[in-house]
Amino acid sequence: MTLERGHFYHNGSVRTSWFVSTSLRVIDSRQRFIALIIGVLVASSGGLILASAETTLSKFPGLLLLLPGAIALRGNIFGSMGSRLGTAAHMGTFGLSYRVESVLLQNLLASGSLSLISSAVLAILAKGTASAFGLSSAMTLADFMVISVIGGILSSVFLAFITIILSVGAVKNEWDLDNVVAPLVTTTGDLLTVPSLILASYLAGRSGFTNSLALLIACISVIVLILSVKTSHDRFRRIFRQSIPVLGFAVVLDLIAGFVVEKRLKDLLEVEAILVLLPAFMGIAGALGGILSSRLSTQFHLGLDDASPVPSRSSLRGAADLSALAIPIFIFSGLIAHLISLVADQSTPGLAKLVLVSVIAGSIVTLFVCVVAYYTTMGSFRFGLDPDTYGIPVVTSSLDLVGAFTIILAMVLTGVI
């Protein structure tokens, strides 16, 4: 008798196989639902901080341009790390070891390096985007650099710790890391990144001090980049080199999403509940993509799916199970955003409209995530690349862009703006 995820053989009994397969799907759905509910609550707290930062957003024009990219980087980098650890756990190579050559430490060092360098690149591209699209009042390059990198480092330190705790806890409690780590890391990144950027903004706008700090950050980033490219550790080098192109692509998508949000800043500040909803909505959309991408990656690595251009029955079943969770989660997101806004005395369009905005936009992005998650993960696997490294960044960042448009569209359709 053998038991695997979705595969059970017991004296040729189809009935037993179906029963156990269904039981595993119920367990999976329960784990995902709990993780997503926790994620909504966590990310909504980040949304409240954002909605309460009206003065900071006005003082530093362009900060909202930076925000989707900064949030996405944390989720992309550490969500991918969690996905890689999940695959390692399924393959029996994951262990709590802090030796330099261990799976855990190599992933941790690579993620830290990627976080620093990507944050610096994001700052440069954000300033370039602001200049190219006529945001003449936007912050200086030094301001962008300090806020992006310092805020990124602060949130990354905490998120790395949380990723390790979740991964180790999931293994010890026999939870599926694909169901737990990806959604919680993605949404926790939303909570941590927002206050980290707001806190880092206190170091911006200080003329000589900010310029000197930005120059120091740039120098350190270049040194870390050189060391990361030339490292002798194979796993570190492979993760770093495969991640840089996809993170660069993701940053571009997130900057476009940030531009859409920044251009609507006036409307968003008039309906502060949308700012409360925004991180939770983006985080949950990304978490859904992360769950599906991680699960598909594990199936492809273990040979449980053939990664064909036409999705298998197993892949379609996974997408259907995920879609069934999406609508109640987005309803819950709208409800929580409304309640938090009432308690915090933030303006809201009303419960019905806020939930409707969340559901309309959520329905669109759920369909989008299923398509993008499958073909990104499948394509990277077939081309010999690590789908754990490529799947989550592409999915979450494309969702940020689509999510920004769909939120604005839903606001228009429901008469919120």
Three-state SS at 264: coil
CB count in 10 Å sphere of residue 225: 17
Q: Is the pLDDT of residue 371 over 60?
A: yes
Three-state SS at 2: strand
Considering only 10-24, 162-176, 216-230, 313-327, which range has the smallest mean pLDDT?
Answer: 10-24
Q: What's the rounded Cα separation, in Å, for the pair 414 and 26?
A: 35
Q: Is the pLDDT of residue 202 over 80?
A: yes
Residue 3 DSSP symbol: E
Q: Read off the pLDDT of each residue in 6-14 and give the average, rounded to a whole number.
A: 43
Higher-confidence residue of 244 and 391: namely 244
Give residue 135's pLDDT.
63
pLDDT tier at 6, thresholds 50, 70, 90: very low
Query: What Cα–Cα distance (Å) separates residue 246 from each residue in 23, 75, 345, 390?
Result: 36, 13, 40, 6
pTM of the model: 0.66
Q: What's the rounded Cα separation, in Å, for the pair 378 and 300?
A: 8
Closest by CA position to 82, among listed 104, 98, 102: 104
Give residue 290's pLDDT.
72
Please provide the distance, in angstroms rounded to a whole number, between the alpha carbons at the two ends of the chain.
60
Q: What's the rounded Cα separation, in Å, for the pair 43 and 281?
A: 8
**Percentage of residues of the chain with pLDDT beyond 70:** 75
Q: What's the rounded Cα separation, in Å, for the pair 36 and 333?
A: 10
Q: Read off the pLDDT of each residue in 369-394 and give the average, rounded to a whole number.
A: 77
Q: Is the pLDDT of residue 293 over 80?
A: no
Closest by CA position to 140, among listed 66, 39, 237: 66
**Percentage of residues of the chain with pLDDT beyond 90:** 5
Give residue 384's pLDDT.
75
Q: What's the rounded Cα separation, in Å, for the pair 204 and 24?
A: 51
Q: What's the rounded Cα separation, in Å, for the pair 167 and 177?
A: 7
Give residue-wise pLDDT tens across range 61-89: 777 777 777 877 777 787 777 767 766 76
Place of tokens 């301001």: 143
Q: Read off the pLDDT of each residue in 345-370 and give the average, rounded to a whole number.
A: 86
